[in-house]
Amino acid sequence: MQQSRPGYAAALAQNDPKLAEYLDTGREFILTDGALSAKVKTLMTMLCDALLAHESGVRNIAARARDMGATEEEIAETVRVAFWMGGLPALVTGVNAFRS
């Protein structure tokens, strides 16, 4: 399953098309099905955004994961791992996965 492009991709494509192409190629290579499913990899990116305190990123990636078939239980477990690895700040950011 192909990943959708992040919000910044359009601005980057307009202003630095070579870098945009490089990122698209990398995203395609890294975030598609392999030994890990694209859905699992997407949940991993949500975990990272929680650890990095990117509230809107967590929200957007959670929506993308749901579109890929992620269940609320899978999202909740991912938020738990973010809390385990990043503490309360990651948990506070991670709960954005449950907000639309």
> Rounded to whole angstroms, how far apart are CA atoms 63 and 16?
27
Nearest to 42 by CA among 20, 23, 70: 70
DSSP class of residue 53 equals: T
Specify the residue for token string 């579109």. 67
DSSP assignment letter at 70 = -
- CB 57, CB 49: distance < 8 Å: yes
CATH number of the domain to which 89 belongs: 1.20.1290.10
Which tokens sit at 10?
Answer: 């359009």
pTM: 0.83
| pLDDT score recorded for residue 8 | 82
On whether both 84 and 46 belong to a single domain, the answer is: yes
Say yes or no: 2 and 23 in one domain: yes
- SS3 category, 69: coil
If asked whether residues 48 and 94 sit together in one domain, one would say yes
Looking at residue 9, its pLDDT comes to: 83
- Same domain, residue pair 45 and 82: yes
Q: Count the domains in the chain.
A: 2
Are residue 40 and residue 27 in the same domain, yes or no? no
What confidence score (pLDDT) does residue 10 get? 86
User: Which pLDDT tens digits describe the chain residue by residue (100 residues)?
Assistant: 455 677 788 889 999 999 999 998 998 999 999 999 999 999 999 999 999 999 999 999 999 999 999 999 999 999 999 999 999 988 889 899 998 8
Structural domain span for residue 18: 1-32
pLDDT of residue 3: 58
